[in-house]
Chain A
Amino acid sequence: MSKTAVTTLTLLGALAIGAGIYAANYQHRPAASSKPSGQTLTVYTAGPKPLSDKIVSGFEDQTGIKVKIFDGTTGKILSKLKAENQNPQADVLVLASMAAGVDLQSQGKLLTYDAKGVAKLNPRFKDPNHQLFNYSASAVGITYRKQAGLPVPEDWDDLNQSAYRNAVTIPDPKSSGSSLDFINVYQQKHGTTLFKKLKQNGADIGGANKEVLDAVVTGQKKAVLGGVDYMSISAIKKGEKIGFSYPDSGTLVNPRPAMILKSSEHQKAAKQFIDYLLSNKVQAQIKAKYLIPGTAQKLVNPLNNDTINAYQVDWSTANQTLTKNLSRFNQVLTHA
């Protein structure tokens, strides 16, 4: 028998053992959480996957309800929702863009629920209509490479310096819900001057949040403008040589809304899931992943506990200006 054959057999053997153990685990699990419910809740979630996995398995253990989860960016989730319009599958959505949530709300697709936990939420995260449950939030800011000769950027304008020429990237608002909200709200407050200057300094639009962060981590770019905080901060805590700053002049703290669809056939389970998201246990898990818990009374930088200077946002106006500001942004950055 040749060497390859031996290697193959070993590999296949290892795979078979793995599959066996996996199958055994898999069949074991429902028996362990002995509360029979037979229900399956379908949750579409945007956001850090380790966190959503943790939340879901905690929820399954506590309630015995099985959860099917679809991970994607805000855009992917909304697109899936649209494609399934005639045969809705999702019960609960968790998005990374408040504007997208408000959009669904204005279309009348959301269920009203008087969740108990809402009282504990930070007032700026409360929805008077009881449809959007902002169980967590993330801020955007500046991620930069720590290297000799590169000034630490403290405000948006600092990225217009020559040290950052051709080295700044902005997460694509079409892939990233938080970036979309940021460029919209920023333009509402300050217009397009910043983006025009950035374009002159050679900035360009990158991919999703993780991709632009990756570009800075591997040194392809020197800074991300408008990337989400928790991803960069967890990379910093892992020891990557990058820094993150919350701009002095203010930034967007973007609530990440969870919501129940009216079309849901498992509303009871869905309500339980919302309650679970607002529970102390999940709120602590959120903090541990460097996101801002919805119940946090003060918005602080997880790196040094300084207060974040957050914009005040009226989300229903923001929903109306969205398309216009997005196309202005794309125009400024894609055309010379």
Chain B
Amino acid sequence: MRKRHVQTRLAAPLTILLAILIAGPLVALLSQTLFGSRPSALWQQLIAPATLTSLRHSLLLGAGTIIGTTVIATPLAWIMTHTRLRAYRWLHWLLLVPFMTPPYINAMGWIYFFQPHGLVQQLLPRADLTFKWLFSPFGMILIMSLHLYPVAYLLLKTALTQFNQRWLDAATVHGVPFKRQLSKIMLPILLVPYLAVWVLVFTKTLAEFGTPATFGRNIHFDVLTTTIQRDLSQWPLAFKNGVLTGSVLLVIALSAWLIQQRFLAHPVVQLTANQAPILYWRHGVTGWAGGFTALLLSAAVGIPYVSIITQSLFKQRSAGIAAGNWTFSHYLELLRFDSPAFHALITTFGLAIAISILNLVLAVLISAGSLSQRLPRWISQTLKTLGALPLAIPNVVLALSLMILFSQWLAFTKLYGSLLVLMIADITLFLPTSVQYITTALQELDQSLVASARVFEANPWRILTKIILPILAPALTNSFAMAFIATSRELVVALLLLPSGMTTISSFIFQSFEQGDASQGMALAVVTVAITFVIIQLTGQLLTKESTPRQA
């Protein structure tokens, strides 16, 4: 009884602190919006053409990208579960590369490829190839879909792997026509994962900053995120307008998230005894699958990378593709230890490691707390909500909210402008992914293992290190890697909250397009993606090595 008391006493302050750090900024933002100006002025601002236009654009982009990612990811998930191609692990990783690419670099790649005098026109000098159709909202949706499809693909792949073929077999045996199989079996089971995909893609598109900031600016397509960033960082400032737009964005994202939470709360169809999906071995199928995947990869990875890499190798970018115009100097520049780009690399990885570790610790505490039976209900419920809520907060909104919280409400702490605020933002943003991994792992943790260990081994430390940690290791490594990658390519938070005298990779690259040397920015981007890819590969290998013997 006493032990339980102590736990509660420890958990309660932690929960309250977390609530202040995660929900506090949002409260600050909303009240700043509501009480910062008179209601009539607020309404005027809300229905101002500029606000409405960016709202419409954001929604259009969200809807378009949902369709785009669905169209791409559905066949892909099927191919990677039902055909010969699923045997290739490297292909799986390669398919995730578009998501690892910083979106603004990805978009720059597309621009350089298709613009007047771009790569295509240099290789095929024909006047009628103008690609006007690409430099349009449609092109933007295409680029966003090709960047975000990995999110949808991962979720759908899991859904298809878990899909039990026996249900369909049973139906076929009983003579159920295909149409009814589709409407009565396939759709109900797949509806939940699809809804999850749509909501996730929608929120991610709404929160996306990089693509609209580069490609969108090129075609004069303002969305909510870019409007906020512009209102906050361009002179003359429109601080109030930025705050209002931030609230609008937050409300939309929160509603999408609430809808998703409702659907997730529905009882999930229990799928008994997993059975591997049937493979379609025929050569025709393999050929089609290979063709589709190759086409997808050449568009989603080929186009941006070919153009970024060639651009980063040019001596003179006005000369274009020509003999003698090639140089490695932009890369060599990065290797000089006193170069600003190298500083940015070190700063970013240092920050990313620190943030990922803190993120992991918090995620473990939150997951354990939300699953615990021994804590009061309000604590575990609050922890559960706090662990999932940041998923609904677009980066730019969180940065803006923290700006308000620390520069006005908590100005006396003098913390604004310090690294701490940036770290709070990054930890909060990437918390949900880690919490999800670890919660799942904890739920699957066989309690009888721990119980028997308690009987035979008195030392709790040994139980932790010998039993619990090894079982949780895959989840921990996974969340560490994801947080690390996400932190190292985060842009908009860095742009708004980075203290003076510091540069991260993403802010360096963005600034190199705005003020500095674009070739060097692109060289740094290539190097960063290479490092990210290696880290993911490494985690993947560690995981397969660790999990295979134990599951057997």
A residues at B contact (CB < 8 Å): 2, 4-5, 7-8, 11, 15, 18-19, 21-22, 25, 42, 44, 48-49, 53, 68-76, 78-79, 82-87, 89-90, 97, 100, 145, 172, 174-175, 177, 180, 204-211, 214, 217-221, 238-242, 322-323, 326, 334
Whether B233 lies near A240 (C-beta < 8 A) is no
Provide 15 A-B residue pairs closer than 8 Å at the C-beta atoms, listed in order of the A residue: A4-B541, A8-B538, A15-B349, A25-B338, A49-B516, A53-B340, A79-B233, A79-B237, A82-B237, A97-B235, A207-B217, A210-B516, A218-B317, A220-B111, A220-B116
Whether A75 lies near B117 (C-beta < 8 A) is no
Known contacts A5-B541, A207-B514, A208-B515; is-contact A84 B115 (Cβ 8 Å): no
Interface status of B501 (Cβ within 8 A of chain A): yes
Number of A-B residue pairs having CB atoms within 8 Å of each other in the complex? 150
Known contacts A87-B414, A210-B515, A240-B316; is-contact A44 B500 (Cβ 8 Å): yes
Q: Which residues of B contact A204 (CB under 8 A)?
A: 220
> Would you give the 0/1 interface string for B521-544, flagging 1 where the beta carbon is closer than 8 Å to chain A?
000000000010011011001000
Interface status of B112 (Cβ within 8 A of chain A): yes
Q: Which residues of A contact B117 (CB under 8 A)?
A: 218-220
Whether B541 lies near A214 (C-beta < 8 A) is no
Known contacts A8-B534, A18-B346, A241-B318; is-contact A86 B513 (Cβ 8 Å): no
- In the complex, chain B residues 395-439 whose Cβ is within 8 Å of any chain A Cβ: 403, 407-408, 411, 414, 416-417
What 3 pairs between A and B have smallest CB-CB spacing?
Answer: A219-B117, A70-B500, A68-B501
Whether A220 lies near B115 (C-beta < 8 A) is yes
Residue of B nearest to A4 (CB): B537
Q: Which residues of B contact A145 (CB under 8 A)?
A: 318
Interface status of B230 (Cβ within 8 A of chain A): yes
Interface status of B319 (Cβ within 8 A of chain A): yes
Whether B515 lies near A22 (C-beta < 8 A) is no
Q: Which residues of A contact B500 (CB under 8 A)?
A: 42, 44, 68-70, 89-90
Question: B546: shortest Cβ distance to chain A, in Å?
Answer: 15
Whether B516 lies near A73 (C-beta < 8 A) is no
Q: Which residues of A contact B335 (CB under 8 A)?
A: 18
Question: B92: shortest Cβ distance to chain A, in Å?
Answer: 14
Whether A21 lies near B337 (C-beta < 8 A) is yes
Question: B78: shortest Cβ distance to chain A, in Å?
Answer: 28
Question: A264: shortest Cβ distance to chain B, in Å?
Answer: 14
Interface status of B320 (Cβ within 8 A of chain A): yes
Whether B235 lies near A211 (C-beta < 8 A) is no
Residue of B nearest to A90 (CB): B500
Whether B407 lies near A85 (C-beta < 8 A) is yes
Known contacts A218-B318, A219-B115; is-contact A87 B337 (Cβ 8 Å): no
Interface status of B518 (Cβ within 8 A of chain A): yes
Interface status of B86 (Cβ within 8 A of chain A): no
Whether B501 lies near A76 (C-beta < 8 A) is no
Known: A7-B534, A83-B416, A219-B318. 20 other contacts (CB 8 A): A2-B541, A4-B534, A5-B541, A11-B534, A18-B346, A19-B346, A22-B343, A69-B501, A73-B515, A87-B416, A97-B235, A175-B234, A207-B217, A208-B515, A214-B518, A218-B317, A220-B117, A221-B116, A239-B316, A326-B236
The number of chain B residues touching the other chain, given as a range, is 35 or more
Q: Which residues of B contact A100 (CB under 8 A)?
A: 235
Q: Which residues of A contact B511 (CB under 8 A)?
A: 49, 71
Q: Which residues of B contact A206 (CB under 8 A)?
A: 217
**Which residue in B235, B346, B416, B515 is a CB contact (below 8 Å) of A75?**
B235
Whether B337 lies near A219 (C-beta < 8 A) is no
Known contacts A4-B534, A4-B537, A8-B538; is-contact A210 B318 (Cβ 8 Å): no
Question: B495: shortest Cβ distance to chain A, in Å?
Answer: 8
State in angstroms the CA–CA spacing of A326 and B236 once bound together. 10
Interface status of B221 (Cβ within 8 A of chain A): no
State in angstroms the CA–CA spacing of A203 and B293 once bound together. 40
Interface status of B12 (Cβ within 8 A of chain A): no
State in angstroms the CA–CA spacing of A36 and B110 once bound together. 51
Whether B407 lies near A218 (C-beta < 8 A) is no
Interface status of B342 (Cβ within 8 A of chain A): yes
Question: B272: shortest Cβ distance to chain A, in Å?
Answer: 37
Interface status of B375 (Cβ within 8 A of chain A): no
Question: A95: shortest Cβ distance to chain B, in Å?
Answer: 9
Question: B106: shortest Cβ distance to chain A, in Å?
Answer: 17
Residue of A nearest to B217 (CB): A207
State in angstroms the CA–CA spacing of A326 and B234 once bound together. 13
> Would you give the 0/1 interface string for B333-345, flagging 1 where the beta carbon is closer than 8 Å to chain A?
0010110101100
Whether A71 lies near B534 (C-beta < 8 A) is no
Residue of A nearest to B515 (CB): A210
Whether B411 lies near A87 (C-beta < 8 A) is yes
Q: Which residues of B contact A214 (CB under 8 A)?
A: 317, 513, 518
State in angstroms the CA–CA spacing of A82 and B243 once bound together. 14
Q: Which residues of B contact A217 (CB under 8 A)?
A: 317-318
Known contacts A208-B515, A218-B112; is-contact A18 B337 (Cβ 8 Å): yes
Q: Which residues of B contact A240 (CB under 8 A)?
A: 316-319
State in angstroms the CA–CA spacing of A74 and B515 once bound together. 12
Question: B385: shortest Cβ distance to chain A, in Å?
Answer: 29
Whether A48 lies near B316 (C-beta < 8 A) is no
**Which residue in B237, B320, B417 is a CB contact (below 8 Å) of A84?**
B417
Q: Which residues of B contact A177 (CB under 8 A)?
A: 235
Whether A218 lies near B235 (C-beta < 8 A) is no
Of A100, A211, A242, the most chain B CB neighbours within 10 A belong to A211
Question: B514: shortest Cβ distance to chain A, in Å?
Answer: 5
Interface status of B326 (Cβ within 8 A of chain A): no
State in angstroms the CA–CA spacing of A122 and B220 once bound together. 41
**Which residue in A7, A210, A220, A322 is a CB contact (below 8 Å) of B518?**
A210
Whether A73 lies near B514 (C-beta < 8 A) is yes
Whether B232 lies near A79 (C-beta < 8 A) is yes
